[in-house]
Structure 1
Amino acid sequence: MRWESLFDDLESQLQGEIAAQLREEITQSIRAEQATETLAERLEKLAGQMLRLQLGSKLEVSGRLGPLGDGYLCIDSEAADWVINLQALRRLSITAPRAGTRRCRVNRSKIKLPTLLRGIMRDRNRVQICALNGDELAEGTMGQVGKDFLVMLVHPRDEFARDSAVSEQAVIPLDAIGWVVIPKGI
């Protein structure tokens, strides 16, 4: 009997079994990781990429994925900046990255939605607030952002939010907001 070739053959079989077992463990680990991944975790991997989003009933928005927060994401499109409640997101399409496009992974920001809205309010930008289904809730200038609501000062588009121009103060629960649109160049 040729002990050397027998042991070589048995060791080769053992190595093959060990490699197959390792591949199976890796496959199971990947499946488990994918099965427990959340939308927010998936979005973290897409930071900086061009996306097409379907919001509310059928509104489509295309833009670059910006910061992510607890329950919201930010999109930079050509015409506007968007703060979008993840509950308003109906579909997300990842556009094919161009050659040389840098992919970056970011962690979610600890900045809560009310704090972000206060930062936007401080700039006195005109904004449009839409509900989760896409209905417009109000358009104008934010006057106050509380813990769980905001006050919109509704006024004509060509006027500032002065007392004489404000026709209504709309109080909107933050949970009702699907997205906030901040137009560029106005």
Structure 2
Amino acid sequence: MRWESLFADLEAQFAAAAARNQISEVQEIVRIERARQTLMQRLASAVGGDVDLQLLGGERLGGRLAGIGKDWLMLNRAGTEELVPINAVSWWTARERTRTLAEQTESRVKFSQALRVLVRDRARVSVGGIDGRLLASGTLDQVGQDFVEVALHPHDEFRRSPAVNGRVSIPFHAIARVRSGS
């Protein structure tokens, strides 16, 4: 009988050690997976929820994270949409809304491609710079490989040749946000 309890005790010790090893292995796998995560993948878990952003120029934005692309994010707030290149973001904080892995899809759409949709739609926009200043307000006319051109005209007029006061070309690296809407 003494032998049976000794063997049972040894079996329990082996089982406990195996459980500790399994927990340790799972924790290590989680650490490895977190180390492989990109900034955009981390942000993807907040899509559909509320986020607060600090841009490089100090401007703070908050709203619902409507979507992300390869190198940009889209905020919806108070009747406006903000297209923000990820390289203009200093930090963000998300009110916890963790999406399931099935919901997290990485978009291949780049910042320039998202801007081209606004050109096609003749969207009126304001373009904010990474220094916090307003760079231009008007209609997006052209998107190049590394710049955007904005036709300058009064906010209350459509983009027609007589209303255009000029054009400004802005390199992507200077853009912190492109705002459309009211």
Normalised TM-score (structure 2):
0.90
Match of 1:29 in 2: 29
Q: What residue is the counterpart of 2:65 in the other structure?
A: 65
Amino acid paired to 2:177: W
In structure 1, distance between residues paired with 2:131 and 2:86: 12
Q: Deviations over 1:26-85 (max 9, x none)?
A: 122222222332211111111111111112332221111122111111111113101111
Structure 1 partner of 2:95: 95
Unaligned runs of 5+ in 2: none
Give the Å deviation of 1:103: 4.4
Structure 2 letter corresponding to 1:14: F
Contact 2:85 2:111 (C-alpha < 8 Å) held by counterparts: no
Whole-Å Cα distance in 2 between the matches of residues 90 and 173 of structure 1? Answer: 19
- Partners of 1:15 and 1:130 in 2: how far apart? 61
Matched positions, count: 180
Local SS of the residue matching 1:164 = helix
Point out the more displaced range, 47-56 or 32-41.
Answer: 32-41
1:106 to 92, 104, 107: 104
List gaps (5 residues or longer) in structure 1: none
| Equivalences for residues 44-83 of structure 1 within 5 A | 44-83=44-83
Q: Cα RMSD (Å) of the superposition?
A: 1.8
TM-score (norm 1): 0.88
Name the counterpart of 2:146. 148
Aligned to 1:177: 175
Q: Secondary structure of the residue that 2:32 maps to in structure 1?
A: helix
Counterparts of 2:152 and 2:104, CA distance in 1:
36
Match runs of 1:108-123 below 5 Å: 108-123=106-121
Kept after mapping to 2: 8 A contact 1:72/1:113 = yes
Helix, strand or coil for the counterpart of 1:157? coil
